[in-house]
Amino acid sequence: MQPIKRPLRLAFAVAERAFDRIFGAAWNPFYNLGALGFFYYWIVTVSGIYLYVGFDTGVERVYASIERLTYAQWYLGGVMRSLHRYASDALVVMMLTHLLREFAMDRLRGVRWLSWLTGVPVIWLVYASGVTGYWLVWDQLAQYIAIVSTEWLDSLPIFGEPIARNFLAPNSLDDRFFTLLIFLHIAVPLILLFILWLHLQRITRPKINPPRGLVIGTTAMLLVLSLAHPAVSQAPADLAKVPSVLQFDWFYLTGYPLFDLMSYRWVWALAGALTLMFAALPWLPPLRRAKARAAAVNLAYCNGCGRCAADCPYAAITMVPRDDGAAFSHQASVNPSLCVSCGICMAACPPSMPFRRVAELATGIDLPDPLLPRLRDETHRATKALAGRPRVLVYGCDRAIDLAALAGPGVGTVGLPCVGALPPSFIDYVLSRGLADGVFIAGCPDGACVNRLGIRWTEARNAGERDPRLRPRVPRERIGSFWAARHEKRALAGALAAFRARIAALPPAAEPPPRRVGVPETVP
């Protein structure tokens, strides 16, 4: 899979950075694919309710009722119809792009398996919703879809009377057929909504509403498209005639030409094989390296504040009643099957401070191979080796940044499982102790954090907007950050060089005071 994923990842990274420049990270559509999908779903729902009011389920009247909406009431019914169609098409684009992006970024294994697996029926249900919608129009395209779809269903040996016999001749259909069809067209999207709820179960703060800028832009785009190029029906269905040249909606009917290229049973086999392959992808080779062990709670330092639970991107931490007799009402509890070992919880925990003078630096929640003491040790090691001016310490995400390429005489580096795993007190520690003249944080592109929320929490903590906050005394001008995709080595190096130049213009930081590490001390 890597030969497919790597170029895909690069293509997405390039496109995302281009859109970053145009839309900004917050409005970048690539970072809001799922949310845009939801938004289109709601447009389809609202416009669908309006169309349903004017829809007549009589075989002879169904086509006329839609024509009436389209032409006699073009300013509302026609616009609603166009919005219904184009938002449905845009939904397919968002869904497939979202699927490709998650695949390219390997966001389908580990705790993400449930989201991936539930995404598979979502694809089927979106297509089923669209196909039943086209059927309702009862024009030539609907007739074609009706005939081919029912013949495809009939090729399964599970139906008694062939369903396709309902479309043999003009008098084969009765009015109840469209009543059944509209029931399906409403029921399938409702089931889809339920599956989407399952789809989001394992992640906290899922983005289901796009930012206002995207809402306004997307709505305006759909309205202009609906007015400039309204959705219209083709000639009315006539079962006495064979459908011939059809204006295809390729977003929903991409697979239909296959019915003319191979037998129906082969199409079933192909669809089944693809579905199985997609569903099995989280467990197919190359298997991810052995799963990192889950974070563990150290009750000696946990006061049940709940910050770790609030910051966990995968709802792996819950607050449960205290069970060790300590004078706190709650304690953190980790569900190992949901933990991705990102370390964000450790950074959120108040005792995660490098200033503490204890023999063994520990905190309320940390990875099994404790990240907090390792981070302090590596900070000391990296800053000790710094030479010349300005001295800059880079904290970088191991998943996104090639730290070795940044290191040099004046630049020390410390790797993190995620930038969100850096407690803000470390920046204070480095600058107040004069270990370096500046601290530079580098991670995944904003909106594309491998572990989710790492950049968001880092920025909020450093801006003093979220606990644990970076203390006001820390000189902000000595802090820099850059969010880069792995291929953007030159841009990252440039940002670091610019930061160093800025720091060089500042007076040198104070020399580090003498300190004793690893020896129990009394806090002055």
Partner 1 sequence: MIPALRYLGQAAAYALFAAFIGYFAAAPAYTYRPPDMAEIKLSFSHGGQRKGGCRPLSAEEIAKLPPNMRRTQACPRERVPVLVEMEADGRLLYRDLLPPSGLASDGPSRAYRRFALAPGAHRLELRLRDSERASGFDYQRIIDVELRPRQNLVVDFRPEAGGFVVR
256 sits near partner 1 (criterion: CB under 8 A): yes
Distance CA 210, CA 350 (A): 32
Distance CA 307, CA 200 (A): 21
End-to-end CA distance of the chain: 57
By CB under 8 A, which span of 115-123, 244-252, 269-277, 349-357 interacts with partner 1?
Answer: 244-252
Least distance (Å) between residue 345 CB and partner 1: 37
Tell me which residues in 505-524 interact with partner 1 (CB under 8 A).
Answer: none
21 sits near partner 1 (criterion: CB under 8 A): yes
Tell me which residues in 196-235 interact with partner 1 (CB under 8 A).
Answer: 217-218, 220-222, 224-225, 228-229, 231
Least distance (Å) between residue 477 CB and partner 1: 24
Nearest CB to partner 1, comparing residues 437 and 446: 446
> Is residue 346 within 8 Å of residue 372, measured between CB atoms?
yes
Name residues whose C-beta falls within 8 Å of residue 75's C-beta, 6 or more positions apart in sequence: none
Nearest CB to partner 1, comparing residues 245 and 505: 245
Distance CA 226, CA 221 (A): 9
> Is residue 16 within 8 Å of residue 485, measured between CB atoms?
yes
429 sits near partner 1 (criterion: CB under 8 A): no
By CB under 8 A, which span of 182-190, 253-261, 438-446, 490-498 interacts with partner 1?
Answer: 253-261
257 sits near partner 1 (criterion: CB under 8 A): yes
Q: What is the identity of the amino acid at 19?
A: F
Nearest CB to partner 1, comparing residues 158 and 290: 158
11 sits near partner 1 (criterion: CB under 8 A): no
435 sits near partner 1 (criterion: CB under 8 A): no
Tell me which residues in 84-103 interact with partner 1 (CB under 8 A).
Answer: 85-86, 89-90, 93
**415 forms bridges with which residues in the sheet?**
396
Distance CA 69, CA 53 (A): 10
Nearest CB to partner 1, comparing residues 229 and 265: 229
What 191-198 contacts at long range (C-beta under 8 Å, 24+ apart), as own/partner pairs, is 191/125, 192/41, 192/122, 192/125, 192/126, 192/129, 193/41, 195/118, 195/121, 195/122, 195/125, 196/38, 196/41, 196/118, 196/122, 198/114, 198/118
162 sits near partner 1 (criterion: CB under 8 A): yes
> Is residue 482 within 8 Å of residue 510, measured between CB atoms?
no
The count of C-alpha atoms lying within 13 angstroms of the C-alpha of 282, restricted to the half-sphere facing its C-beta, is: 16
Nearest CB to partner 1, comparing residues 260 and 511: 260
- Closest to 422 (Cα-Cα) out of 476, 360, 351, 372: 372
By CB under 8 A, which span of 65-73, 200-208, 250-258, 482-490 interacts with partner 1?
Answer: 250-258
**480 forms bridges with which residues in the sheet?**
440
Nearest CB to partner 1, comparing residues 40 and 429: 40
Distance CA 11, CA 487 (A): 10
The H or E element that residue 274 is part of is: helix 264-280
- Closest to 449 (Cα-Cα) out of 492, 375, 397: 397
- Closest to 447 (Cα-Cα) out of 8, 32, 125, 18: 32
- Closest to 495 (Cα-Cα) out of 434, 406, 415, 413: 406
265 sits near partner 1 (criterion: CB under 8 A): no
Residue window 164-203: x/- pattern of binding to partner 1, with contact defined by CB under 8 A: xx--xx----------------------------------
Size of the site for partner 1 (CB under 8 A): 49
24 sits near partner 1 (criterion: CB under 8 A): yes
158 sits near partner 1 (criterion: CB under 8 A): no
Angle between the 79-104 and 33-53 helix axes, to the nearest 10 degrees? 160
Least distance (Å) between residue 256 CB and partner 1: 8
Nearest CB to partner 1, comparing residues 132 and 413: 132
Nearest CB to partner 1, comparing residues 167 and 457: 167
Nearest CB to partner 1, comparing residues 29 and 189: 29
Least distance (Å) between residue 29 CB and partner 1: 8
70 sits near partner 1 (criterion: CB under 8 A): no
**319 forms bridges with which residues in the sheet?**
332
246 sits near partner 1 (criterion: CB under 8 A): yes
How is residue 500 written in tokens?
A: 């160093």
Nearest CB to partner 1, comparing residues 82 and 331: 82
Rg of the chain, C-alpha, whole Å: 29
Least distance (Å) between residue 258 CB and partner 1: 12
- Select from 3, 22, 53, 387 the one that contacts partner 1 (CB under 8 A): 22
> Is residue 336 within 8 Å of residue 294, measured between CB atoms?
yes
Distance CA 10, CA 8 (A): 5
Distance CA 223, CA 80 (A): 9
- Select from 253, 338, 372, 397 the one that contacts partner 1 (CB under 8 A): 253
By CB under 8 A, which span of 5-13, 197-205, 237-245, 388-396 interacts with partner 1?
Answer: 237-245
By CB under 8 A, which span of 243-251, 280-288, 393-401, 456-464 interacts with partner 1?
Answer: 243-251
Nearest CB to partner 1, comparing residues 100 and 362: 100
- Select from 103, 144, 178, 440 the one that contacts partner 1 (CB under 8 A): 144
Binding-site ranges for partner 1 (CB under 8 A): 19, 21-24, 27, 29, 85-86, 89-90, 93, 144, 151, 154, 160-162, 164-165, 168-169, 217-218, 220-222, 224-225, 228-229, 231, 239-251, 253, 256-257, 260
